Structure 1
Amino acid sequence: MPEALYSADQTRELDRLAGEAGLSGEELMERAGRAAFDVLLSRWPDVSRPAVLCGGGNNGGDGYVVARLAREAGLEPVIHHLRDPERMKGDALTMARRARDAGVPMRPLSVDDLPVDAPLLVDGLLGTGISDALRDDIRALIEALGRLGKPVLALDVPSGLNADTGAPAGAVLSADCTITFIGVNRGLLTGAGPVHSGELLFDDLGVDRPVYQHIDRPVWRPSPARLRHWLPPRRRDAHKGHFGHVLVVGGDHGFAGAPLMTAQAAARCGAGLVSLATRPEHAPAVLARQPEIMVRGVDGAESLRPLLEKASVVAVGPGLGTGPWGRVLLEEVLESGLPLVIDADGLNVLIELDADARDNWILTPHPGEAGRLLGSDGATVQADRFAALESLAARYGGTVLLKGLGTLVRGDGGTALISDGNPGMATGGMGDVLTGVIAALHAQGLPGYQAAALGAMAHARAADRAAAAGGERGLLATDLLAALRPVLNGDDER
Structure 2
Amino acid sequence: MPANLSQSVFSAEQVRTHEPSAAEQSAVSMYTLMERAGQAVFEQAIKHYPHAQDYVVLVGVGNNAGDGYIVASLAKQAGKHVTVIAAAPDKPLTGDALTAQKAWLAVGGEISNYDPLTIKTADIIIDGLLGTGLKSEVREPFTKVIKTANDSPAPIIAIDLPSGINADTGVVQGIAIQAELCVTFVGIKQGLVTGEGRAYTGKYEFADLGVGQAFIQLATPSAALINYDTTQGLAKRQNNSHKGSHGKLLCIGGNAGTAGAIRLTSEAVLRTGAGMVKVYTHPNSALAISMGRPELMVTTTNLHAALEWATCIAIGPGLGQDSWAKSTFETVIQHFVAHNKAMVVDADALNLIAQQSAPIALKNTVFTPHPGEAARLLGCAISNIESDRYHSARKLAETYSTTCALKGAGSIITDGTKAWVCTDGNPALAVGGSGDVLTGVIAGLIAQGLTVEQAACFGVILHAKAGDIAAQRDGERGMLPSDLFTIVRELVN
Q: Structure 1: how far apart are the matches of 2:240 and 2:283?
A: 36
Give 1:145 deviation, angstroms.
3.4
| Alignment match of 1:211 (pick from 212, 215, 222) | 215
Report the equivalent of 2:300.
297
TM-score, normalization by structure 2: 0.93
Matches of 1:339 and 1:116, distance apart in 2 = 56
Deviation at 1:206, TM superposition (A): 2.6
> In the alignment, does 2:369 pair up with 1:379?
no
Please provide the CA RMSD for this pair: 2.1
In structure 2, what is the equivalent of residue 18 of structure 1?
22
Kindly provide the amino acid, as one letter, of the partner of residue 366 in structure 1: H
Partner of 1:107: 112
1:12-411 equivalences in 2 (<5 Å)? 12-21=16-25, 22-84=27-89, 87-109=92-114, 115-224=119-228, 226-228=230-232, 231-298=234-301, 303-337=302-336, 338-354=341-357, 355-411=359-415
1:202 shift after superposition: 1.9
- The worse-fitting range, judged by mean Cα deviation, of 406-415 and 252-261 is 406-415
SS at match of 1:79: strand
**Equivalent residue for 1:440?**
444
Aligned with residue 472 of structure 1, among 456, 473, 476: 476
CA distance in 2, matches of 1:237, 1:117: 67
Q: Secondary structure at the match of 1:276?
A: strand
Q: Give the superposition deviation at 1:85.
A: 8.8
Q: What is the CA-CA distance between 1:390 and the residue it aligns to?
A: 2.0
Q: How does 1:424-435 map to 2 (within 5 A)?
A: 424-435=428-439
CA distance in 2, matches of 1:17, 1:223: 31
Deviates more, 1:98-107 or 1:200-209: 200-209
- How far apart are the structure 2 equivalents of 1:403 and 1:51? 37
- Taking the aligned partners of 1:349 and 1:86, their CA distance within structure 2 comes to 56
User: 1:226 offset after TM fit, Å?
Assistant: 4.8
CA distance in 2, matches of 1:443, 1:412: 23
The amino acid that maps onto 2:317 is: P
Asked if the contact 2:129–2:142 (Cα under 8 Å) also holds between the matched residues in 1, the reply is no
CA distance in 1, matches of 2:201, 2:281: 44
Q: Do the aligned residues in 1 keep the contact of 2:162 with 2:201 (CA within 8 Å)?
A: yes
Report the Cα offset of residue 413 of structure 1: 6.1
Quick one: structure 1 residues 419 and 90, their matched pair in 2 at CA, closer, same or farther if it must change by over 3 Å?
same
Q: Which residue of the partner structure matches residue 6 of structure 1?
A: 10
1:200-221 CA-to-partner distances (Å, cap 9, x unmatched) read: 2222223343531332243111
Q: 2:490 and 2:217 mapped to 1: Cα distance?
A: 34
| Aligned residue among 450, 457, 460 for 2:461 | 457
Deviations 1:244-275 (A, max 9, x none): 21100001100111101111111111212111
2:204 maps to amino acid = L
Contact kept in structure 2, 1:217 and 1:414, CA below 8 Å: no
Is the contact made by 2:121 and 2:152 (CA closer than 8 Å) also made in structure 1? no
Shift of 1:391: 1.9
- Amino acid corresponding to residue 311 of structure 2 in structure 1: S
Q: Supply the AA of the counterpart residue of 1:32.
A: A
Residues 227-259 of structure 1 deviation map (CA, whole Å, 9 limit, x = unaligned)? 325x32222222222222110000110011110
Aligned residues with identical type, % of pairs:
39
Q: Does the CA-based 8 Å contact 2:63-2:96 persist in structure 1?
A: yes
What residue ranges of structure 1 are gaps of 5+ in the alignment?
Answer: 490-494
Whether the aligned pair in 2 keeps the contact of 1:412 and 1:449 (CA below 8 Å) is no
Take 1:227 and 1:115, find their aligned partners in 2: how far apart are those partners?
A: 42
- CA 1:436–1:24 in 2, change beyond 3 Å: closer, same or farther? same
1:20 CA drift (Å): 2.4
CA distance in 1, matches of 2:376, 2:135: 25
SS in 1 for 2:241: coil
Alpha-carbon distance between aligned partners in 2 of 1:86 and 1:128, rounded to the nearest angstrom: 19
For residue 236 of structure 1, what is the amino acid of its counterpart?
A: N
Task: Please list the CA deviations of residues 432-475 of structure 1 after superposition, one character each: whole Å capped at 9, or x if unmatched.
Answer: 00000111111222121111111000111011112222222211
Distance in 2, Cα, partners of 1:41 & 1:250: 53
Gap change, CA 1:220 and 1:280, over 3 Å in 2: same
In the TM superposition, residue 321 of structure 1 has moved relative to its aligned partner by: 0.4
CA distance, structure 2, for counterparts of residue 197 and residue 331 of structure 1: 44
SS in 1 for 2:127: strand
- Conserved in 1, the CA contact under 8 Å of 2:55 and 2:82? yes
For 1:207 and 1:234, locate their aligned partners in 2 and report how far apart those are by CA, in whole Å. 43
- More deviation, 8-17/458-467: 8-17
Distance in 2, matches of 1:471 and 1:119, equals 28
Q: In structure 2, how many angstroms separate the alpha carbons of the residues matched to 1:68 and 1:50?
A: 11
Please state how far the C-alpha of 1:198 moved relative to its aligned partner: 2.1
Structure 1 residue 196 displacement after superposition: 1.3
Residue aligning to 2:490: 486
The separation in 1 between residues aligned to 2:392 and 2:200, in whole angstroms, is: 21
Q: SS of the residue aligned with 1:406?
A: coil
The letter for the 2-side match of 1:317 is G
Task: Report deviation, 1:294.
Answer: 1.1
User: For 2:243 and 2:41, how far apart are their aligned partners in 1?
Assistant: 53
TM-score (norm 1): 0.93
